[in-house]
Amino acid sequence: MRSILVTSLMLGGLSATSAMAADAQGWLQRLSQAESKQSFQGTFVYERSGNLSTHSIWRQVEPGGVVRERLLQLDGTPQEMLRVNGQAQCVNGPIASAVVDEQAWPAHGLDAKQIEQWYELRLSGESRVAGRSAVILGLVPRDHHRYGVQLYVDKETGLPLKSLLVNDRGEMLERFQFTQLDTAGTRPAAVLQPSTNCAPVRVVKARTPSAESWRSEWLPPGFNLSAVTRQPSPVSADSVDCLVYDDGLARFSVFLEPLHDAAVADARNQLGPTVAVSRRLTTDDGDVMVTVVGEIPFGTAERVAMSMRADDVHATP
């Protein structure tokens, strides 16, 4: 009798775990679909390294599925961005130097199936954010090459009301949180028009031999090349090749800039969850600075930087 009871309890526990996993998958799927279907306007706060900023966002899903977004920072240095289908059209402020094609805001372009391969999904209860009911969805990394994420998903719309990025010690690295969200009705056309200070962005898809000859001899499992772009250098007349990698949720970029014998040292920096690792490489065409930037752990970024190769390339001692 006791063995029958224990077996029943075990099977019941497995069924409950399976049900919770299915529920978590359902919420992740709903989250990934909401961003392309739901219009809204709101105000959110963004926090990293103890610094807090406030932003307004307007999003309109137009007939045919075109998604227009305008973001405006409300405090500190003025910053503005207009995006259409996730691609920056114009920017203003310090953010301009960091814009890459297909740059995303929290929960943009989630690939639910891909995410499940590299993160364990967990439902952690319910909460309220910006006066709205939410379920708490945890994304726990299956290895040490990515950070964990806790998402507060709006029960009504499936939109992300709050997200926390945490390291392997459970320390918060980044917080995104709505303080006000309105999902009713369409937005006036005027609020989606950029200001006169918003400078047009020209990002050209790089298909040149220099970009295509670069490769990484090592990538963290699950990360794949998702975009190749070319941008003007902020410090010279050269263009900078940029390779963008993602795992369906996390993303990092590899920038490749000719140095022309400039005396530039290797460097490593971190601001909140964002790390930047630069390493000088020598090629037949001259030295190149390889810089890895993204929300990945330092060790992972350094290994990617050291693994970048072109024809007859080697790291400078």
With respect to residue 15, please indicate whether it lies within any of the assigned structural domains. Answer: yes
Residues 210 and 184 in one domain: no
Residue range 39-71, pLDDT digits in tens: 999 999 999 888 899 999 999 988 888 889 999
What is the torsion angle, in degrees rounded to the nearest 10, for the CA atoms of residue 18, residue 23, residue 28 and residue 34? 160
Residue 178 in 3-state DSSP?
Answer: strand
Residues 278 and 250 in one domain: yes
Q: What is the mean pLDDT of residues 29-43?
A: 89
With respect to residue 82, please indicate whether it lies within any of the assigned structural domains. Answer: yes
Task: Give the C-alpha distances (Å, rounded to integers) separating 110 from 41, 106, 184.
Answer: 20, 9, 24
User: Which residue in this structure is represented by tokens 């369409």?
Assistant: 186
Q: What is the pTM of this model?
A: 0.81
- H helices of 150-254, where? 209-212
Residue 237: its pLDDT value, please? 67
Q: What is the mean pLDDT of residues 200-221?
A: 69
Residues 38 and 93 in one domain: yes
Q: What is the mean pLDDT of residues 209-237?
A: 77
Domain extent at residue 157: 2-192
**Residue 93 corresponds to which amino acid?**
G
Q: What is the mean pLDDT of residues 198-209?
A: 62
Domain stop point among 136, 158, 192: 192
With respect to residue 87, please indicate whether it lies within any of the assigned structural domains. Answer: yes
Least confident stretch, 7-16, 71-80, 119-128, 217-226: 7-16
Residue 21: its pLDDT value, please? 55
Residues 163 and 67 in one domain: yes
Residues 272 and 235 in one domain: yes
How many structural domains is the chain composed of?
Answer: 2
Residues 167 and 266 in one domain: no
Among 61, 51, 21, 56, smallest CA distance to 41 is for: 56
With respect to residue 137, please indicate whether it lies within any of the assigned structural domains. Answer: yes
Residue 265: its pLDDT value, please? 84
Asked whether the beta carbons of 221 and 143 are under 8 A apart, the reply is yes
**Residue 302 corresponds to which amino acid?**
E
Residues 58 and 178 in one domain: yes
CA 257, 262, 267, 273 dihedral sign is negative
Residues 185 and 210 in one domain: no
Query: Facing residues of 46 across strands?
Result: 53, 176
CATH code, domain with 272: 3.30.200.100
Asked whether the beta carbons of 64 and 196 are under 8 A apart, the reply is no
Measured distance CA(228)–CA(24) in Å, rounded: 33
CA 88, 98, 315, 223 dihedral sign is negative
Mean pLDDT of the chain: 82
Q: What is the mean pLDDT of residues 98-104?
A: 43
Domain stop point among 172, 192, 212: 192
With respect to residue 198, please indicate whether it lies within any of the assigned structural domains. Answer: no
Res 236 pLDDT > 70: no
Domain stop point among 170, 192, 214: 192
Residues 237 and 138 in one domain: no
Residues 80 and 176 in one domain: yes
Residues 45 and 181 in one domain: yes
With respect to residue 26, please indicate whether it lies within any of the assigned structural domains. Answer: yes
With respect to residue 197, please indicate whether it lies within any of the assigned structural domains. Answer: no
What is the distance between the terminal CA atoms of the chain, rounded to a whole angstrom? 71
CATH code, domain with 121: 2.50.20.10
Residues 212 and 66 in one domain: no
Please give the structure tokens belonging to residue 164. Answer: 């926390």
With respect to residue 262, please indicate whether it lies within any of the assigned structural domains. Answer: yes
Among 280, 308, 305, 307, smallest CA distance to 210 is for: 308
